């Protein structure tokens, strides 16, 4: 039996050096004069410190495991040897998970994320499906220890939602969620059909990294149309009924960013500009990946033939990712936010492409 914790993906020396640099920066009493920069540095320090500690803990656990095996073999203790083998199996799983997480090192991966949901083909069915998807990602964020804020929400005519934008705040939020971009397909017996027929519904999910002021995204104000409108829907406790919601349309690309959850029109406008910058930044990242051959397809119609994942509730229970082939029959768990295995399968696929 042999286990080895590789530090090749995680640059150990660089990480140690950066942590010392961050320690010096965060100990500066003047740091909090710029609260946004301070929060970003503190977040980076916490994340890096946790990664370093994780490697140290895993390395110590491996050493302890080998010590346990040597003792079991010396004393010919089969029970102790079996316990050691179980510990190693669990450690191997933990190390595989950590090495996958270490691959979240592409540009923007460590950032917060905007997650945008749009109902597609299927009318009321699709709008209900979009609300289920929104709930799924809110629960995933909660389980992952992230903070999730609804920035914009448009109610459906009869049920569900037409669209929503969720801001997910936490280290590597974009790195994990970027694998969720695409069309999600649902097959079920419709709760809105008196004849209890089976329906197929679609909704799209697109994910963008939140960018700070250090990332320069040039936007010509003349290329944008700004509309204000009345807030509506369950967009948060501060949503009011005045015309404070803001929608910005970037005419050259057709990209739309909207926010309605802040108290004032000024605050909503500021957040909408951030969202637009994030969308344009993601567009630039996609262009770079396409040039490198890292992505093979762009967005298509929100309907048949473009889905990344299929959720079947009837006549059987199955959620299957059409890119990686990963599937599970635990549809209840998935719709309640248990998405980590799907994300890890996508990350493992990315690792295989790099290795190949």
Residue 258 has pLDDT above 80, yes or no: yes
pLDDT at position 296, please?
Answer: 41
Nearest alpha-carbon partner for 340 in 145, 205, 165: 145
User: In the structure, what pLDDT confidence band is assigned to residue 285 with cuts at 50, 70 and 90?
Assistant: confident
User: In the structure, what pLDDT confidence band is assigned to residue 69 with cuts at 50, 70 and 90?
Assistant: confident
Residue 339 has pLDDT above 80, yes or no: yes
Pick the CATH number of 113-355 from 2.20.25.90, 3.30.70.1660, 3.10.350.10, 1.10.10.60: 3.30.70.1660
Tell me whether strands 224-229 and 255-259 are parallel, antiparallel or unpaired: unpaired
Q: Report the alpha-carbon distance of residue 349 to residue 355 in Å, rounded.
A: 10
Kindly report the backbone phi and psi dihedral angles of residue 11, in degrees, each rounded to the nearest multiple of 5, phi listed first. Answer: -75, 95
- Mean pLDDT across the stretch 39-64? 82
User: In the structure, what pLDDT confidence band is assigned to residue 310 with cuts at 50, 70 and 90?
Assistant: very high
- Mean pLDDT across the stretch 205-209? 92
Distance between the two ends of the chain, CA-based, in angstroms?
27
Residue 304 has pLDDT above 70, yes or no: no
Report CA Rg, the chain: 23
Q: What is the pLDDT of residues 116-147, one digit of tens each?
A: 999 997 789 999 999 999 999 999 999 988 99
Q: Report the alpha-carbon distance of residue 186 to residue 130 in Å, rounded.
A: 10
Q: What is the pLDDT of residues 340-353, one digit of tens each?
A: 999 999 988 876 66
| Total-model pTM | 0.69
pLDDT at position 309, please?
Answer: 97
Residue 8 has pLDDT above 50, yes or no: no
Residue 2 has pLDDT above 80, yes or no: no
Q: For residues 300 and 147, which has the higher predicted lDDT (pLDDT)?
A: 147
Total Cβ atoms within 10 A of residue 83? 15
Residue 176 has pLDDT above 80, yes or no: yes
User: In the structure, what pLDDT confidence band is assigned to residue 7 with cuts at 50, 70 and 90?
Assistant: very low
12-101 folds as Methane Monooxygenase Hydroxylase; Chain G, domain 1 (1.20.58)
Residue 163 has pLDDT above 90, yes or no: yes
Domain regions of the chain by residue span: 12-101, 113-355
Give the whole-number percent of the chain exceeding pLDDT 70: 86
The mean pLDDT value of the chain amounts to 83
pLDDT at position 44, please?
Answer: 79
Exposure b/e, 272-286, CB count within 10 A at least 16 = b: bbbbbbbbbbbeebe
Total Cβ atoms within 10 A of residue 340? 13
Q: For residues 36 and 214, which has the higher predicted lDDT (pLDDT)?
A: 36
Residues 173, 142 contacting (CB under 8 angstroms)? no
pLDDT at position 1, please?
Answer: 41
Q: How many CA atoms lie within 13 A of 208 on its CB side?
A: 24
Q: Report the alpha-carbon distance of residue 69 to residue 81 in Å, rounded.
A: 6
Q: Poorest-confidence range of 128-142, 207-221, 238-252, 297-311?
A: 297-311
pLDDT at position 298, please?
Answer: 43
Tokens of 257: 């960013």
- Mean pLDDT across the stretch 35-41? 78
**Residue 69 Ramachandran class (φ > 0 left, ψ -120 to 50 alpha, else beta):** alpha
Total Cβ atoms within 10 A of residue 50? 10
pLDDT at position 291, please?
Answer: 55
Q: Report the alpha-carbon distance of residue 112 to residue 175 in Å, rounded.
A: 9
């Amino acid at each position: 039996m042999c286990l080895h914790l590789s530090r090749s993906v995680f640059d150990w020396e660089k990480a140690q050096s950066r942590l010392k640099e961050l320690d010096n920066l965060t100990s500066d009493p003047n740091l909090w004069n710029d609260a946004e920069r301070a929060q970003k540095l503190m977040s980076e320090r916490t994340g890096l410190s946790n990664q370093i500690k994780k490697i140290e803990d895993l390395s110590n656990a491996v050493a302890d495991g080998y010590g346990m095996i040597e003792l079991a073999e010396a004393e010919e203790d089969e029970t102790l040897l079996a316990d050691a083998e179980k510990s190693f199996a669990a450690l191997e799983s933990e190390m595989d998970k950590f090495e996958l997480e270490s691959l979240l090192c592409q540009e923007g991966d460590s950032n917060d994320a905007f997650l945008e949901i749009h109902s597609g083909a299927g009318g009321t069915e699709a709008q209900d499906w979009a609300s289920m998807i929104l709930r799924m990602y809110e629960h995933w964020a909660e389980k992952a220890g992230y903070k999730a804020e609804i920035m914009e929400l448009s109610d459906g005519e009869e049920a569900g939602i037409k669209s929503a934008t969720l801001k997910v705040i936490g280290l590597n939020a974009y790195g994990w969620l970027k694998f969720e971009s695409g069309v999600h397909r649902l097959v079920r017996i419709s709760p809105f059909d008196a004849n209890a027929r089976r329906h197929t519904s679609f909704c799209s999910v697109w994910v963008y990294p939140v960018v700070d002021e250090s990332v320069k995204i040039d936007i010509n104000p003349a290329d944008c149309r700004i509309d204000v409108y009345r807030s509506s829907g369950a967009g948060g406790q501060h949503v009011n009924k005045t015309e404070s919601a803001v929608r910005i349309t970037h005419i050259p690309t057709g990209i739309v960013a909207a926010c309605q959850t802040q108290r004032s029109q000024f605050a909503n406008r500021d957040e909408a500009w951030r969202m637009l910058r994030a969308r344009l930044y993601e567009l630039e990242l996609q262009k770079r990946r396409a040039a490198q051959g890292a992505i093979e397809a762009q967005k298509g119609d929100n309907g048949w033939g473009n889905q990344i994942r299929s959720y079947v509730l009837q006549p059987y229970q199955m959620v299957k990712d059409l890119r990686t082939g990963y599937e599970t029959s635990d549809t209840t768990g998935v719709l309640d936010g248990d998405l980590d295995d799907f994300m890890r399968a996508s990350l493992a696929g990315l690792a295989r492409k790099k290795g190949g």
